[in-house]
Structure 1
């Protein structure tokens, strides 16, 4: 009797245990099914890519203080004077430091920021000379009779004989760089503004130095980042060219145009409102360009012709200044900003839509060369010499085009009548274009060797 009760009791436990297992199994299947259903309708989680290495290389002042630390041979010290020349020749010859493409890429990327820092420093010097040693304000009052000068030779052993009368009672060396003309075109009306811009350029030079250190020693991009050409194209087109052009167009519209309108009318530069007044006070701008009264309404209602008072398409040259109409150039920069912003969204990155450079190159079939572009993608993503060669050739050609256009269509006020500056700018851009194309051939030979 007891055994039968125990057996029944065990069967009940077994039954409840089996039922519980079945219930749990059923719940599990339901959860899995539900999870599968959710996985079907849920958008995939974005793939997080770590594209930088943190703190890859220690910052070492002791290493920097040792001449030639980048080369075992040079680091041994000088044997002959050749050591000095090798020190300078090899400091940035990154190919001789290492054969690791990622490390070379990081060094080149970091060096770019150093180069930008030097450019900002140079620009700061130009603006400082304009503020401290020039006759800019006098030239602004009479640009046809007073020559631009931003350098006065000190009277040391008779060297002051180099100074000449440039007009307006100012004695100095006449400059032919075109800076005065571009300053007027951008709406600079005082030497104080030149000082402020010079200080701003110094701040940016410091930021670039910091960025160069940061992106080599603290957060260095991986090789995959340098080889992600679609993302690079998108950012360079939309960011540098698109937003850069849009920023300049905004400056031209809100600052340059109203200030130049006053200058062309003969208003004393000291009487012209300051740039921030035009930006903050719309009524002030609306007195010169009535469409500003309507704000952004014409833009959103597609009634864009309302803005024709400051976004013009006149063509030709302004008869007062001899330069392109500044309202035409503002319109031009706004138009190319829109084009580049659109172009910066053309290439396939994270969303699976857009162009792929590799596909474009490999799909191309020329009438004579056939699949001549096949393999180019691999070349340009593994050889920076090949890529730089192509870029230099195109930039050099563009620079020569700029040389010809700057005298046929002078872009800045009173540039056309400053013949020395016209000749200098043409010669400068022709030489620079030639050097860039020679550099393209040199880089190509590096790639081929």
Structure 2
């Protein structure tokens, strides 16, 4: 006889609408905080609006309400993205020369609008639209109106993109090609191009998958007509990814930090894959788009990595409970934090002295007129033998590991053939030499310093020998009081702040390296990079100064908008130094003297002026520093590449 204890009855309560909300509430500044909602006493109120809008813990302790806010924020963001994309599609339909470009992509330059006489400057979508199977501006209008509901239908690669692109590649006039919905609704149309379509899903369920080899290929390399990956390869790849992710989705779950970090790693890979394996037709010969895509995804990857560190630090301060986490993996990492950080510190010092030491040696030998004593491919060689071995392995892979493939995964591996479309180089093998060895060690140095700062912020977020009770001071705090001299820039937020600058350094070196190397080694528009870039002087003279000539001299040309952006972004960047290089007390005294003058004239406002807090000043400073630096680089790159590419 088995005796069971009676199961407890659970009473489930469902809130119908626990929080009534209305637009008047949302229109009131600071409605989320009782203190801020009272209105401004001092100018700090404006900054608190920015700082605390997303600090849901300070608004309410109701977990359900916090979850609801986060959930609604996701949908708000999605709606903004859809609106933005819809606008881009409408812009392309109304103002671009898409149909003209589609009829002759190798000779007609794409243009986003009819206002500015600039060819080659577009909103970077023609390649994507062609890959989607869009053949007229009317279809772009429909996509814009449907705000991507229709786009999801049109991007169905097997039924729409493959047949339409097969016709386009064969030189069929876009006007003669059946409309996308006809390929979806009429199977006979597809069967004319791909006979196995007549058998439907039977080969799939009978495991006779080779029948689908007509439109799910494994060729490798690039389509010689468009300079992009074979769309049949892409369709096959996406189908395989779906199957893998269906399985993997059940296997892997993550709680915090690492899930975000995987996204960052993928984002940085994306930047490299966009040029080494161009997925869209004619993308590889659109040099401005290629350079922009690489730069864009590198910046995104950098911000996501810093974001991952910020969230890990917030977790440590807000959610970590040392009483329940005894001797688990994180606890053991925290107990070893001194060893981890001191080792990273040593690695950074070693990398810094040695990587820059090689450059300083080269600059010195160059200045003394002793080229035979420099580190270069023609004197003292430092060949990246491991990277060359990896390149060679990938070159040999098609014959060894994938007998069905006719080319390796990317033409950038050694040993492939040049692919040119309409007389422009799309891609060719990219050899590595002494220059790459030198620059990649600079990359390693900058990345390790970024990791050192961010990881120290996470591991010392709750306590340190200097401030044992740091956990009580929250995520961000200033130098906190008279008894604690020398405790500035120790909060977890300050580590994120400092890490952002090193992330900026890291990504800048990467995108400069890419820009110069792909121009000299692949697109062939300037002198050989391997000669100049082994010295710091070469980087300053032959890259930054020489290539800036286009943007500096752009004022009277169709590139003038980039000249203005270049100038304006420099001002934004310089503005940041006002916040970063002067102390809060200086500004408070300055403001108080201005208040005195207002009082003398009896025009003083009721809201009392205050200088920014230390944390606020740093936030404003780093924001303008990054925004100004990124926009300056953007204008510099695009003016250069549109002029020469």
**How would you bin the TM-score normalised by the shorter chain?**
0.5 to 0.7
In the other structure, the counterpart of 1:143 is 105
In the other structure, the counterpart of 1:178 is 124
In the other structure, the counterpart of 2:53 is 91
Aligned-residue CA RMSD (Å): 2.9
Q: Does 1:163 align with 2:117?
A: yes
Paired with 1:83 and 1:266, the residues of 2 have a C-alpha distance of 63
Q: Which has the higher contact order (CA 8 A, sep 6+)?
A: 1
In the other structure, the counterpart of 1:448 is 316
- What does 1:53-132 correspond to in 2, within 5 Å? 53-132=15-94
Task: Note if contact 2:36-2:45 (Cα within 8 Å) is conserved in structure 1.
Answer: yes
Task: Note if contact 1:249-1:333 (Cα within 8 Å) is conserved in structure 2.
Answer: no
In the other structure, the counterpart of 1:434 is 302
- Determine which of 193, 196, 210 is the counterpart of 2:142: 196
Paired with 2:126 and 2:154, the residues of 1 have a C-alpha distance of 20
Q: Does 1:419 align with 2:310?
A: no
Task: Note if contact 1:178-1:415 (Cα within 8 Å) is conserved in structure 2.
Answer: no
- Determine which of 120, 133, 137 is the counterpart of 1:187: 133
SS of the residue corresponding to residue 112 of structure 2 reads strand
Deviation at 1:304, TM superposition (A): 1.3
Deviation per CA, 1:374-413, whole angstroms, max 9, x where unpaired? xxx8xx3xxxxxx2x4333221111110101111110111
Deviation per CA, 1:124-174, whole angstroms, max 9, x where unpaired? 111111111111111111111222221343xxxxxxxx522x3xxxxxx71
SS of the residue corresponding to residue 117 of structure 1 reads helix
Paired with 1:125 and 1:48, the residues of 2 have a C-alpha distance of 50
Paired with 1:77 and 1:150, the residues of 2 have a C-alpha distance of 45
Paired with 1:414 and 1:406, the residues of 2 have a C-alpha distance of 12
- What does 1:394-413 correspond to in 2, within 5 Å? 394-413=262-281
Q: Does 1:295 align with 2:200?
A: yes
- What does 1:250-269 correspond to in 2, within 5 Å? 251-269=156-174
Corresponding residue pairs, total: 311
Deviation at 1:78, TM superposition (A): 2.0
Paired with 2:218 and 2:11, the residues of 1 have a C-alpha distance of 46
- Determine which of 210, 216, 232 is the counterpart of 1:311: 216
**295-304 or 329-338, which deviates more:** 295-304
**67-76 or 140-149, which deviates more:** 140-149
| Structure 2: gaps (5+ residues) | 3-8, 318-645
**Residues 1:299 and 1:141: Cα distance change in structure 2 (over 3 Å):** same
Task: Note if contact 1:121-1:202 (Cα within 8 Å) is conserved in structure 2.
Answer: no
Task: Note if contact 2:133-2:165 (Cα within 8 Å) is conserved in structure 1.
Answer: yes
SS of the residue corresponding to residue 156 of structure 2 reads helix
Paired with 1:256 and 1:49, the residues of 2 have a C-alpha distance of 54
Report the structure number with the largest CA radius of gyration.
1
Paired with 1:256 and 1:63, the residues of 2 have a C-alpha distance of 47
SS of the residue corresponding to residue 174 of structure 1 reads coil
**48-57 or 106-115, which deviates more:** 48-57
In the other structure, the counterpart of 2:494 is none
Deviation at 1:292, TM superposition (A): 1.1
- Determine which of 226, 234, 246 is the counterpart of 1:329: 234
Q: Does 1:390 align with 2:258?
A: yes
- What does 1:360-379 correspond to in 2, within 5 Å? none
**Residues 1:181 and 1:445: Cα distance change in structure 2 (over 3 Å):** same
Task: Note if contact 1:131-1:194 (Cα within 8 Å) is conserved in structure 2.
Answer: yes
Paired with 2:74 and 2:133, the residues of 1 have a C-alpha distance of 30
Paired with 1:55 and 1:195, the residues of 2 have a C-alpha distance of 39
**Residues 1:54 and 1:295: Cα distance change in structure 2 (over 3 Å):** same
Task: Note if contact 1:94-1:104 (Cα within 8 Å) is conserved in structure 2.
Answer: yes
Deviation at 1:183, TM superposition (A): 0.8
TM-score (norm 2): 0.45
**Residues 1:48 and 1:125: Cα distance change in structure 2 (over 3 Å):** farther
Task: Note if contact 1:249-1:331 (Cα within 8 Å) is conserved in structure 2.
Answer: no
Paired with 1:256 and 1:51, the residues of 2 have a C-alpha distance of 50
SS of the residue corresponding to residue 147 of structure 2 reads helix
Paired with 2:304 and 2:169, the residues of 1 have a C-alpha distance of 38
Deviation at 1:323, TM superposition (A): 0.7
**Residues 1:341 and 1:403: Cα distance change in structure 2 (over 3 Å):** same
In the other structure, the counterpart of 1:276 is 181
- What does 1:334-349 correspond to in 2, within 5 Å? 334-346=239-251
**Residues 1:53 and 1:320: Cα distance change in structure 2 (over 3 Å):** farther
